[in-house]
């Protein structure tokens, strides 16, 4: 079986994945697997001044019809921002610290296996979320979730060297360190309703921070955000929140507010600096608006996951030779 695609661009960070040689070897193996389904497959390594969003935009403009970011959710987010609104298709090749997109949708959490799976995947019309920062007149798209408050503070204070050594464990270490401080309060508006909290997550993914189920009604192909607002500023209560998430009982935790909406407006209390993360990467500071953007990307997804929203399927990712 050969896919309908003619030219694929694999984007990757040559310094990731445990070192240059290991990263290049895995990417080359993924490229060989993809060449069994796509006639032309080219590799594009990122650089500090040429991130995956820049490379993805250039590849899409240059006629590549399949953009395949090889890395974690942050790399995939960059690629999404590069091709948003274009006719190019996205094939995630999960290979990073956090692979929430793969765990959420059932994509193989291995770049070679994800490349081999292309003929069984289906192209889906995914509406992106967007975070708008009005003070800076800029925005950033997200495919999974955006969060403000405690979780973005964890990302802000994350030790990058520790992340390289131990991966996602570094996020939990940073989160544990935040339990020794009180959290800043933020204000949000969902529709006509005004709320306050210390953590707000607006999500298109059931999973959060790995395999934890936080917003259980979310779906990548839905047209609304699943919004969770955590009100307490007490570290002790946050231990309870964490326990409830781990035991999948957070939806019954008193005080936590759940809403579904296409837009959330966020403002900091007083002059506090409150950070925002998108798809696990630091994006900016409040004030911000989190909303469904109307901008779309075609994403190759497992058919079992896409079957929940058949109207979002475009066409199967394979055809007979």
Residue ranges in the chain whose pLDDT is less than 70: 1-3, 15-24, 156-182, 315-321
> Domains in the chain and their CATH numbers?
7-127+296-316 (3.40.50.10330), 130-294 (2.60.200.40)
According to the model, what pLDDT value does residue 4 have?
87
Give me the DSSP letters along 259-274. Answer: EEESEEEEEESTT---
Alpha carbon 31 to its chain's center: 23
How much is the pTM? Answer: 0.87
Predicted pLDDT of residue 69: 96
pLDDT at 22: 55
Q: What is the pLDDT of residue 20?
A: 44
What pLDDT does residue 130 have? 98
State the pLDDT at residue 23. 56
Q: For residues 188 and 196, give the distance between their C-alpha atoms in angstroms, rounded to a whole number.
A: 6
CA gap 212, 207 in Å, rounded: 5
Q: Which residues contact 29 (CB under 8 A, 6 or more apart)?
A: 111, 112
Q: Are 6 and 39 in contact (CB under 8 A)?
A: yes
Q: Which helix (H) or strand (E) holds 151?
A: helix 150-156
Q: How far apart are CA 2 and CA 319, in angstroms?
A: 6
The two structure tokens encoding residue 125: 């019309």
Q: What is the DSSP letter of 183?
A: P
User: What pLDDT, on a 0 to 100 scale, did the predictor assign at position 229?
Assistant: 95
Please tell me the predicted confidence (pLDDT) of residue 25. 77
pLDDT value of position 102: 96
In the block, residue with structure tokens 């990467």: 281
């Amino acid at each position: 079986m050969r896919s309908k695609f003619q030219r694929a661009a694999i984007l990757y960070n040559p310094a990731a994945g445990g070192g240059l040689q290991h990263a290049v070897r895995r990417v080359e193996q993924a490229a060989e697997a993809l060449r069994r389904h796509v006639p032309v497959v080219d590799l594009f390594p990122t650089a500090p001044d040429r991130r995956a969003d820049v490379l993805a935009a250039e590849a899409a403009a240059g006629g590549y019809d399949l953009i395949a970011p090889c890395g974690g959710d942050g790399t995939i987010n960059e690629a999404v921002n590069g091709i948003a609104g274009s006719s190019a298709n996205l094939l995630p090749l999960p290979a990073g610290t956090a692979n929430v997109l793969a765990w959420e949708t059932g994509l193989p959490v291995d770049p070679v296996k994800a490349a081999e799976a292309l003929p069984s995947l289906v192209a889906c019309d995914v509406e992106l979320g967007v975070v708008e920062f009005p003070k800076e007149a800029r925005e950033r798209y997200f495919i999974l979730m955006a969060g403000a408050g405690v979780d973005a503070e964890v990302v802000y204070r994350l030790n990058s060297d520790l992340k390289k050594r131990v991966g996602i464990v570094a996020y939990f270490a940073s989160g544990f360190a935040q339990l020794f401080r009180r959290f800043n309060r933020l204000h949000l508006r969902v529709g006509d309703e005004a709320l306050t909290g210390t953590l707000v997550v607006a999500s298109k993914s059931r999973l959060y921070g790995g395999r934890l189920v936080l917003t259980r009604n979310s779906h990548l192909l839905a047209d609304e955000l699943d919004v969770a607002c955590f009100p307490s500023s007490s570290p002790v209560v946050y231990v309870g929140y964490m326990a409830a998430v781990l035991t999948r009982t957070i939806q019954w935790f008193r005080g936590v507010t759940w809403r579904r909406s296409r837009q959330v407006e966020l403002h900091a209390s007083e002059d506090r600096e409150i950070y925002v993360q998108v798809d696990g990467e630091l994006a900016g500071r409040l004030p911000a608006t989190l909303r469904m953007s109307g901008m779309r990307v075609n994403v190759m997804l497992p058919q079992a996951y896409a079957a929940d929203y058949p109207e979002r399927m475009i066409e199967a990712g394979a055809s007979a030779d």
